[in-house]
Structure 1
Amino acid sequence: MNNFIYGNTTKVYFGKGGVKEYLCCLLKNVGDTVMLAYGGGSIKKNGIYDEVTAILQKAGKTVVDFPGIMPNPTYAKVQEGAKRVHENHVDFILAVGGGSVIDCCKIVSAQAKSAEDIWEMETVKRDFPTDFIPMGAIVTAAGTGSEMNNGAVITNEAQKIKCGLMGAQAQFVFLDPSYTMSVPFKQVISGAFDTLSHGMETYFGKPYDNNLSDDINEAVMRSVIRNIRILLRDHENYDARSELMWASSMAENGILKIGKITDFQCHQIEHQLGAYTDCNHGQGLAVIHPVLYRHIYKNGVERFVRFAENVWGIKEKKTAEKTALAGVEALATFIEEIGLPTSFMQMGIPTDTNFRAVADSTNITAGCCKKLTHDEIYEILQECI
């Protein structure tokens, strides 16, 4: 295994009722003014907003609302949030929602403490912030794993770039599976597939020799597959939702990445697709993954064989290549089984989308078993239509 340094500063409160039991106590350690950040307003319909607001008021906090964070948070929204922090002298940010809300708040937290433009600072100067407005998170939609790391995916609409930035990391996070019950079921499955994608994107990264990180990853991927299938039969199964919620965190809290150079080529392609189309992230990954893997599996046969055998339970075929391909096809079949789209057309992405521009602007990753060209990425996108 490669050398590594590991640490995680986020304290997790997992399970039903955690917010009511612990949040008020945690708020004693933060400043007087709390910015409550959320998305389109679903937390007002399902009662979570009233619950959290009451706790904040009981703790004597001045509450500043920051609503309307979109599914693919924009850099303009980040700037709006940072301005609100300054205008209201916010001491603490509480993100309530899924990965998009948490991601936006991470960069708001950084921008609010810096006089520089964070986008230019990170993407051009390659300089990263070290000072942040402290924040916490209450997760209401699982999948991204954003709650236990400092990475954030932000779309710069002016530049048509969707990419990762580094921001604050939540001091504490609440993972209550019951909060996911009101999320539209298609989004639950889309989020769960995002978790599976995170597992695969790490698993197919280098090195390929046997290591503990990959052993754990195989267990996480099998758990995600198993519990998605349980939810398809029983949408409100609390145990399955709890397993998926923790799997989401496990896939992105750094444990599976210990000693690894990750792949994430599929994510890079989907991010740029999202920059041009504002498409659903999990659905985009579902369409791209099998097509991408059919292009590259011969360059990482041994790893794809292990994936086929240890994740999908496929018995050895006549050749290693056939076993490897069987694992890719098992993934493709699973995507159909769980009702996710298998083409851009099914996602409603227009056929006249500038896929050439999407391909040419896609970041090429170091961890992929085959270093793709922009022309090959364009071919993959064409096959996904």
Structure 2
Amino acid sequence: MNEFVYSYPTKVLFGEKAAAKHLPAELSKVGQTVMLAYGGGSIKRNGIYDELLSVLQAAGKRIVEFSGIMSNPTYAKVQEGAALAKAEGVDFILAVGGGSVLDCCKVVSAQAKLTTDLWSFEYGEKKQPAEFIPMGAVVTAFGTGSEMNNGAVITHAEKKIKGALWGAFYDFAILDPLYTMTMPLKQVFSGAFDSLSHCMETYMGKPRTSNLSDEINEACQRNIIAHVRATLANPQDVQARSELIWAAAMAENGILKIGKATDFQAHMLEHQLGAYTDCNHGQGLAVIHPVLYRHMLTEGEEQFARLAVNVWGVDPSGKSQAELAEAFVQSLAAFIKEATLPTTFAEMGISNDVDYKAIAQSTVLTPNCCKKFTTEELLDVLMECKG
């Protein structure tokens, strides 16, 4: 284990009807004007909007709505939200949705308190904001674990960069598995794979020898795999959803990263794919991971072999470490197909005329990946993913 300091600020309110049980008490602690932030309007169709609105009204709050937050939220949308928050004197942000809404609001909370441009502040001046509008999250689509940390992935359309910005932690996060039952199954499996990817990307970092954080990580990966399969068998299995929503949180609440220096090369590559194509994040990861990992078989052999045995249940009898590593990649690729996720960019509907060279050249090369990729090698990965 590497040395570490661990502290965790977000209160998790988990369970069926968690909003009705806990939100009134949380709202009693915040100011008068609440920004209710959400995406394209699905919460109005499934009744979640009406339920939360009634709680806000009962608490006597003045409500400012910030809607239309898109998948892969843009920096322009962040600026729109920050301007609205400033103009309306917002005291508190209640973000309702999945990772896109939650990421956007974390950055809105920071930009609204900053007098300079946040992107320039963080990327140019290499500083992080220190003042934020307080926030709470109501998770309706799991996968990113965004409710568990202060990082946000934002697309700067003008710069063709899908990158990290740092905003506020959520004061509380409401995780109600019933809220996820209206998620399209395609998004359920995409989100679950994002969670699995977070686990693998953490696991494949340093140290590379067995440690407690990685052993907990292995359990989280087994849990995601088992409950994706349970959901495939019965899409209405609420218990499976409750496990998946908590696994998504566990993958990004810092526990699996204690004492670890993480990898996340697959995420960096997919982020830039998203910057150029606006594709679905979890699906992009599903296509990239097996291909990228085949390029890492030699360097990642020891860790891949452990994953094969401890996560995927491969019998090690008579197998070399290299054979076990290969069995891991084969098991992962087979699971992606089983989970009805795409295996090529063509299956995702991504056009062949995408500038893959520009994507590779703009991808961050992560320092803790076991293989030191070059942009040329990442371009090879992308071309193999095309299908």
Q: What SS does structure 1 have at the residue aligned with 2:333? A: helix
| Number of the residue aligned with 1:83 | 83
Q: Secondary structure at the match of 1:296?
A: coil
- SS of structure 1 residue aligned to 2:232: helix
1:319 deviation in Å? 2.1
Shift of 1:318: 3.3
1:217-228 correspondence to structure 2 within 5 Å: 217-228=217-228
Structure 1 residue runs without a partner (length 5+): none
Aligned to 2:336: 335
Distance (Å, rounded) in 1 between the aligned partners of 2:355 and 2:86: 38
Aligned equivalent of 1:369: 370
Q: Which residue of 2 aligns with 1:38?
A: 38
Within-5 A mapping of 1:99-138? 99-138=99-138
Does 2:142 correspond to 1:142? Answer: yes
SS in 1 for 2:299: helix
Distance, in Å, in 1 between the alignment partners of 2:310 and 2:25 is 44
Provide the TM-score with structure 1 as the length reference.
Answer: 0.99
Structure 1 residue 125, shift from structure 2 partner: 1.6
How many residues were matched structurally?
Answer: 385
Task: Give the Cα separation in 1 of the matches to 2:302 and 2:384.
Answer: 25
Matched residue of 2:295: which SS? Answer: helix
Tell me the equivalent position of 2:67: 67
- CA apart distance, 1:52: 0.5
How far apart are the structure 1 equivalents of 2:256 and 2:319?
31
TM-score, length-normalised on structure 2? 0.99
Work out the CA distance in 1 between the residues paired with 2:328 and 2:192. Answer: 19
Q: For residue 9 of structure 2, what is the amino acid of its counterpart?
A: T
1:210 maps to 210
The residue number in structure 2 matching 1:23 is: 23
Q: Percent identity?
A: 61
What displacement does 1:367 show?
1.3
Alignment correspondent of 2:2: 2
Instruction: Output one character per residue of 1:142-161: Cα deviation in whole Å (capped at 9) or x when no partner.
Output: 10001011010000000000
**Runs of 4+ deviating beyond 4 Å:** none
1:319 corresponding residue in structure 2: 320
Paired with 2:123 and 2:167, the residues of 1 have a C-alpha distance of: 13
User: Are 1:163 and 2:163 an aligned pair?
Assistant: yes
Amino acid at match of 1:10: T
Distance 1:104 1:237 in 2: 30
Counterpart-to-counterpart distance in 2, 1:366 and 1:272: 17
Aligned partner letter, 1:244 = L
Structure 2 gaps of 5+ residues are none
Q: Deviations over 1:250-300 (max 9, x none)?
A: 000000000001000000000000000000000000000000000012112
- Greater displacement, 295-304 / 97-106: 295-304
Report the secondary structure of 1:298's partner residue: coil
Give matches, 1:162-181, under 5 Å: 162-181=162-181
